[in-house]
Structure 1
Amino acid sequence: MLNPDHDESIRHAAQPGYDQYRENIARGKITTVEYFSMTVGSKRKAMIYLPPGYSKDQRYNVLYLLHGIGGDEAEWYNHAGPQVILDNMYADRKLAPMIVVLPNGRAMLNDRAEGDLFEANKLKAFEDFESDLLHDLIPYIESNYSVLMGRENRAIAGLSMGGGQSLNIGLGNLDRFAWIGGFSSAPNTKEPELLVPDPEETSFRLRLLWLSCGLLDNLKHVSDRTHTYLKQNNVPHIWYEESGGHDWPVWKNDLYHFSQLIFR
């Protein structure tokens, strides 16, 4: 259960250089894998970050980190260099050991971010990703990597469309996820009453619920709505308003802060 003191507004940025490549530190490994999705009926791709010193003799927590409507499994890698951010934090002893999985949240045969991204079938594919994640990707990860399998060893977070997915999927499956984060969550986020129909039960089961958004983001009303409902219903959560808009400096900063809090 969350400490109610976690319901606060944080207004500090990551330390300078947090996202810059450093020499002479241990490095993790980031690769692309393929898994078969029964949900989609085809092979799908995901990127996997293994922390420095990954060993099959140790079991690891897992963070599922989701992209936005204009991206795919490589969006975080291409725009944010999450492996650099994470390597630096491991060097500074700021993280609990974890694997980070970067899936493609558009669960359809042609899952590339091309054409009209707002077509009905493409938007539905983001909803269908819940089944792909729960029934195809998570079992693949748990069969092929040395991971811990309890709900308290599994986190989900994402940006924009992926933030909405993370809140929808995480809060709808508290038997699977104890750590949930929405970064600048998009309008695909369910209405708060649907996200958290039982505030007391949600409060009891969650270890961390994180909401964040840039103060200049034109989608901030979505996060404001969720935060207001949670506060009115005494659901402990971190509410992080930060400088910036709907952009990568915000989301990299969110990853920096959120990843330090999970699996503690």
Structure 2
Amino acid sequence: MSSIDHDSIRNAAPLGFDQNREDIARGKIESIEYFSTTVGCKRKAMIYLPPGYSEDFSYNVLYLLHGIGGDEEEWYKHAGPQVILDNLYADRKLAPMIVVLPNGRAMANDRAVGDLFDSDKLKAFEDFESDLLQDLIPYIESNYSVQIGREKRALAGLSMGGGQSLNIGLANLDRFAWIGGFSSAPNTKEPELLVPNPEEASAKLSLLWLSCGVLDNLKHVSDRTHAYLERNNVPHIWYEESGDHDWPVWKNDLYHFSQLIFR
């Protein structure tokens, strides 16, 4: 794993990091549809294309997942990720990447309605692994100018999506080298199942990021994962930050995590 400047993430993102700035280049964020063989129908996602996106250049890809109460628009509606990323590009702090915002609930009616904890909805979050690997990633790689390979893909998410990112990413180290869990929820597998081979994980990971607000009542999930990784000498960033299970935490996580990947 490459060395990380831990001091760069000890402080909260600077004031204005999530505010529109005048006179900077802007990327585009738009909705897309792809056919999911996993679900058997078309599914929606959003995609962020950085300022100056060009088919003449090949980009890295970050797949960024939402929580149990959200869908492909959750990050867009609550965090304005395109604003955060545009500002970072203007300051020359990001490697070139596109960001894909999927719907992590892989079922025909994938809206966040009714009892979000129904067994079929929870299973749909598990089924998303197949949708991501077999359907969405091939769609993105066929329709956008992106680089192919594990070192060119990152997977991160918040809460339920944080658990998904750890579960899927660490089980598919041949697909992802950069993995982040923000305030990961109890869907996160037990550490011994997440990382059954610490030596292999240590050798293959370029970055494993765990973060959580100190007031979060789900922090025990991240605590146990961090403790296992530390005990087994798996390099990772453990970032305890002020805040609860909420958007100020996750926007701060995106600000820091996005600057570390694809380096």
TM-score (norm 1): 0.98
Distance 1:129 1:2 in 2: 29
**2:228 paired residue number:** 229
- 1:15 Cα deviation (Å)? 1.0
* Matching of residues 153-168 of structure 1 within 5 Å: 153-168=152-167
Could you tell me whether the CA contact under 8 Å between 2:61 and 2:99 is conserved in 1? Answer: yes
Residue 239 of structure 1 aligns to a residue in which SS? strand
* Matching of residues 69-80 of structure 1 within 5 Å: 69-80=68-79
Identical-pair percentage: 83
Paired residues, number = 263
Could you tell me whether the CA contact under 8 Å between 1:69 and 1:161 is conserved in 2? Answer: yes
**2:208 paired residue number:** 209
Distance 2:24 2:9 in 1: 29
Distance 1:148 1:113 in 2: 32
**2:150 paired residue number:** 151
- 1:129 Cα deviation (Å)? 0.1
- 1:6 Cα deviation (Å)? 6.7
- 1:9 Cα deviation (Å)? 11
Distance 1:27 1:190 in 2: 38
Instruction: Tell me which amino acid in the other structure corresponds to 1:59.
Output: S
- 1:2 Cα deviation (Å)? 3.9
Distance 1:25 1:177 in 2: 31
Distance 2:35 2:199 in 1: 37
Instruction: Tell me which amino acid in the other structure corresponds to 2:62.
Output: L
Could you tell me whether the CA contact under 8 Å between 2:39 and 2:107 is conserved in 1? Answer: yes
**2:175 paired residue number:** 176
1:55 aligns with 2:48: no
Instruction: Tell me which amino acid in the other structure corresponds to 2:94.
Output: L
- 1:10 Cα deviation (Å)? 4.8
User: Could you say what the CA RMSD is over the residues aligned between the two structures, in angstroms?
Assistant: 1.2
- 1:125 Cα deviation (Å)? 0.2
**1:118 paired residue number:** 117
Which deviations, in whole Å up to 9, do the C-alpha atoms of 1:186-218 show, x marking residues without a partner? 000000000000000000000000000000000
**2:138 paired residue number:** 139
Instruction: Tell me which amino acid in the other structure corresponds to 2:90.
Output: A
- 1:7 Cα deviation (Å)? 7.7
Could you tell me whether the CA contact under 8 Å between 1:2 and 1:203 is conserved in 2? Answer: no
Could you tell me whether the CA contact under 8 Å between 1:8 and 1:240 is conserved in 2? Answer: no
Distance 2:7 2:22 in 1: 36
Distance 1:12 1:255, change over 3 A: same
Residue 44 of structure 2 aligns to a residue in which SS? strand
Could you tell me whether the CA contact under 8 Å between 2:9 and 2:256 is conserved in 1? Answer: no
Distance 1:188 1:251, change over 3 A: same
- 1:11 Cα deviation (Å)? 3.1
Could you tell me whether the CA contact under 8 Å between 1:156 and 1:179 is conserved in 2? Answer: yes
Which deviations, in whole Å up to 9, do the C-alpha atoms of 1:51-83 show, x marking residues without a partner? 000000000000000000000000000000000
Distance 2:28 2:172 in 1: 29
Instruction: Tell me which amino acid in the other structure corresponds to 1:160.
Output: S
Could you tell me whether the CA contact under 8 Å between 1:10 and 1:241 is conserved in 2? Answer: no
Distance 1:258 1:116 in 2: 32
Residue 213 of structure 1 aligns to a residue in which SS? strand
Which moved further from structure 2: 45-54 or 11-20? Answer: 11-20
Q: Structure 1 stretches of 5 or more lacking a match?
A: none
Q: Structure 2 stretches of 5 or more lacking a match?
A: none
**1:109 paired residue number:** 108
Distance 1:77 1:205 in 2: 31
Which deviations, in whole Å up to 9, do the C-alpha atoms of 1:198-257 show, x marking residues without a partner? 000000000000000000000000000000000000000000000000000000000000
Which deviations, in whole Å up to 9, do the C-alpha atoms of 1:91-135 show, x marking residues without a partner? 000000000000000000000000000000000000000000000
Could you tell me whether the CA contact under 8 Å between 1:6 and 1:238 is conserved in 2? Answer: no
Distance 2:199 2:9 in 1: 24
Distance 2:5 2:168 in 1: 22
